[in-house]
Amino acid sequence: MKRILATLALTLAVAAPLAAADTWVIDRAHSETIFQIRHLVSKVSGRFTDFGGTIAGDPAKPEAATVEFTIKAASINTDNTDRDTHLRSADFFDVAKYPEITFKSNAIKKTADGKFEAAGTLTMHGIAKQIVIPVEYFGAVKDPWGNEKAGFAARLTLNRKDFNVTWNKAIDNGGVLLGVDVDVVINLEAAKKKDAAK
């Protein structure tokens, strides 16, 4: 009996931190996913309007957290209807075949106060690659309505050819229409999921 009780106590002690992990849901109304790419001699920006995800863990211990983030590729918006239609086609995101862009973390490392690196798998255009995303954590507060919110910013540069997004056109001076590197900025405000039992 003593052994059974000891085993039960150990099991509960290990399980308790997992049970206590909070879930933070991305508040899309106060978040954004934007990108920028070179076009000829300037840069063009765009955004995705349909995205979401969760962060599981305690904001006081970010290294133990896990992140899942999903973007609906068809929600791309560059404020130009013809260009957006082209971007959704097989030349670029091929949204009919690859409707989602996803990221799932497998490790988070602190690099400085309020700064972290989230390593994980980014899947886009049917290709999954391990990447590391620099993340800044702005802390957690309660809003005027008593909801707990946490803020994050992620900035990275992706080579679109790594995900087989290769469409381009040659121009007269020997260059090409579009750049290869895409600068991505993700600003997130996440709300702590309330316990349904409360």
Res 62: pLDDT? 77
DSSP 57: S
d(CA 152, CA 160): 24
* Alpha-carbon gap, residue 93 to 114, rounded angstroms: 33
Cα–Cα distance between 31 and 33 in angstroms, integer? 7
Q: What is the mean pLDDT of residues 87-91?
A: 98
Q: What is the pLDDT of residues 19-71, one digit of tens each?
A: 347 999 999 999 999 999 999 999 999 999 999 999 998 767 778 899 999 99
Label residues 99-124 b or e (16+ Cβ within 10 Å = b).
eebebebeebeeeeeeebebebebbb
Of all residues in the chain, the percent with pLDDT exceeding 90 is 81
- Give the mean pLDDT of the chain: 89
Q: Considering only CA atoms, which of 137, 132, 133 is closest in space to residue 153?
A: 137
Q: Which amino acid is at 187?
A: N
- State pLDDT tens for residues 108-143: 999 999 999 999 999 999 999 999 999 999 999 999
Confidence (pLDDT) at 174: 84
The arithmetic mean of pLDDT across residues 8-19, rounded, is 35
In 21-154, where does DSSP find H-type helix?
Answer: 81-88
Which band of pLDDT confidence, cut at 50, 70 and 90, is reported for residue 144? very high
